[in-house]
Amino acid sequence: MFQAHPHHPHQNHYQHQPQHHRHLPRPNVDTAIDINTATNTNITNSSTTSTNTTSTDTNIPTPSPAPTSSPAPMPPPSPTPPPVLPPPPPPPISRIEPTPPPKTSPPAIPFR
C-alpha cells in the first residue's frame, strides 16, 4: 500500500520538475535559494517559472536563469521613471523651506 500509493502521487509531482532534470532539480533548488536571498524579485519570477512546466524547462535546463532574471528586474525600473513626477512637487517645498532657514540657519551654523 505505502509503496504503490506514494509511488503514483510522487511520480506525478516529480514529473513536473525532476522529470526533465533529475540531477539539476537539486542544485537548482540550492541556487534558487541563493538567488532568492539575493533578490526577492527573483523569488517571484523563479516561483512563477517553476510552476510553468514550459518555463521551467527553458529556465532550469540552461543556467540562463540568472541572465533571464536580470532583464526581468530591469523592467521594473522602467516603470519607476514615472514616479519622477512626484519629485517635482518637493521642489516647491524646498524653495519655501531653504529660503528662510538657509538665511538664518546656514550662516549661523557655519559661522559658529
d(CA 14, CA 28): 14
Q: How confident is the model at residue 60 (pLDDT cuts 50, 70, 90)?
A: low
**How high is the pLDDT of residue 95?**
52
d(CA 91, CA 84): 12
Q: Three-state DSSP class for 72?
A: coil
Answer whether residue 109 shows pLDDT above 60: yes
- Amino acid letter, 31: T
